[in-house]
Amino acid sequence: MRGYAAFLGKELIEAVRTYKLFLMLVIFGVFGMSSPLLAKLTPQMIASVVSPELAATIPAPSAVDAWTQFYKNVGQLGLVILIIMFSGVLANELSKGTLVNVVTKGLSRGAVILAKLTSMVAIWTGSLVLAAGLTWVYTQYLFGSNALPHLVVSVVLLWVFGVFLLSLLVCAATLGSNNWVALLITVAVVAVGLVAGIIPAAYHYNPLSLASQNMALITGTVTLGDLWPAIGITLGLIVVLVAAAIGIFRRRVL
């Protein structure tokens, strides 16, 4: 436990010194601020760039559009950046051999994996809360209201999906010693999920629904009840992936 706490501290200091924390907060902060602004200013931009006639045919933007932009930015590009940012989670230290020292001095390998996961989840949580909070504040000012159902739940679902991706990334990272291996496996699994999305009924069970059905949940075309199987499967997969990551990491050569 002390090893875990010490290694977690080291991970967080590393996140600060390598600018990872700073980058994540600035990027997600920009996403959070720009989403409602983009929704609000789209008609004006079309009016000045294309033609006022076309802009007049577009319905006036609302808080729903602001959150649609939020899920477009954070739920797609944001998750891509999250994965790329942390793709070197194990590879950097494996290639430098710096883990050998601490592990031979008695730090358990499970603690290494858990501490790395904890620090990534903490940074993801902070970034997502910042982005969602800024979108909430901006939407409140620009559109006067945030009165949308399931707003918090849909953000929590996106958070769960982010944690799932990070667990997947850590598990994939234990399989190779190059950050491209981790990145490729993660992308491959997401691609499988995207292909499964072709089957209409699969969204009940697809973990990807947690990052793609958020607006459907807010607008009411999908209910939380529809997504329970997907939520359960995702949570189960997180546990399995973390256990697998620790199991594989215990057996591998550092």
Partner 1 sequence: MNEIGQYIPFLIPLAIAQVVLMVVAIVHIVRHRHYRFGSMALWIVVAVVFGFIGPVVYFVFGRDRDE
Q: Is 199 among the residues that bind partner 1 (CB under 8 A)?
A: no
State the sign of the Cα–Cα–Cα–Cα dihedral 208, 212, 216, 221: negative
Helix (H, G, I), strand (E, B) or coil at 89: coil
The site for partner 1, by CB under 8 A, has a size of: 25
Helix (H, G, I), strand (E, B) or coil at 253: coil
Provide the mask over 124-163, with x wherever binding to partner 1 is found by CB under 8 A and - wherever it is not.
--------------x--xx---------------------
Q: 179 to 198, contacts with partner 1 by CB under 8 A?
A: none
Instruction: Report the alpha-carbon angle 172-174-175, nearest 5.
Output: 70
Separation between Cα atoms, residue 100 and residue 104, nearest integer Å: 6
Cβ closest to partner 1, residue 93 vs residue 226: 93
Separation between Cα atoms, residue 132 and residue 74, nearest integer Å: 9
Q: Is 26 among the residues that bind partner 1 (CB under 8 A)?
A: yes
19: alpha, beta or left, given left = phi > 0 and alpha = psi -120 to 50?
A: left
Q: Is 116 among the residues that bind partner 1 (CB under 8 A)?
A: no
> Do 222 and 148 meet the contact criterion of CB atoms below 8 Å apart?
no
Candidate ranges 8-16, 41-49, 168-176, 219-227; the one touching partner 1 (CB under 8 A): 41-49
Q: Is 29 among the residues that bind partner 1 (CB under 8 A)?
A: yes
Structure token pair of residue 6: 């010490």
Q: 83 to 102, contacts with partner 1 by CB under 8 A?
A: 84-85, 88, 92, 96
Binding site for partner 1 (CB under 8 A): 18-20, 22-23, 26-27, 29-30, 33-34, 37, 40-41, 44, 48, 81, 84-85, 88, 92, 96, 138, 141-142
